Amino acid sequence: MNDIKINLVIVVQGASMMSEQECSKQLRKPIINKRGKYAGKQARDKRGNLLWHYETVPDLTKYNRHDVGVASLTEKRKTETLTYYTRKSREVKQSINMCQEVYDYMISSEMPRGYRAPKNFKPYMPIRSRLDRKTKKWVDGVPFEVQAWRAANIQQRLEWHLNAIAASLGGRVDSYTVFDD
């Protein structure tokens, strides 16, 4: 039986949508008189407190925006973009357990597919093959991404793999734990 070496907790979008009350916010506006101006002294209660008008409006940060292009049937080359919003789904946590073999692969020096070197990485070996002037032999170059992967420490390699797993499930890493042997 394989023992658990890594526990990964991912936050993903769930199946149930947020309620309409969760996706709305209340705006506090001063009362406006019939002339369209702020009703200063007249907009006070018997104790002298200002009266406010509260309005509930949708909070667009809690909605997903969708744009659909619609072509006109009568006029060629004329499209209209329709925009609609749907409520976001609640976030749920998913836990994934991985064994020792997976951990060993994640921290190995073998570069995974899809790895891109960080922008601030400086290569420490020649990238292309070149002729060494002293020995008069060809020195093989090491690709940029391979150099970056080899220069990364164990934690950076592990976090890259865990982020790739979370991205493939459409979520983000909440936390992870590496257990001792």
Of 3-12, 21-30, 87-96, 97-106, minimum mean pLDDT range: 21-30
Query: pLDDT digit string (tens) for 8-51?
Result: 999 998 888 888 888 888 887 766 655 555 555 556 666 766 66
Of 22, 23, 40, give the one whose Cα is nearest residue 31.
40
Tokens 């973009």 belong to residue: 81
Please give the C-alpha separations between residue 150 and each of 101, 127, 156, 181, in angstroms, as whole numbers.
Answer: 20, 14, 11, 25
H or E element that contains 51: none
Virtual torsion, Cα 111, 112, 113, 114, nearest 10 deg: -90
> What is the pTM (predicted TM-score) of this model?
0.64
pLDDT of residue 8: 96
Best CA proximity match to 104, nearest among 6, 37, 10? 6
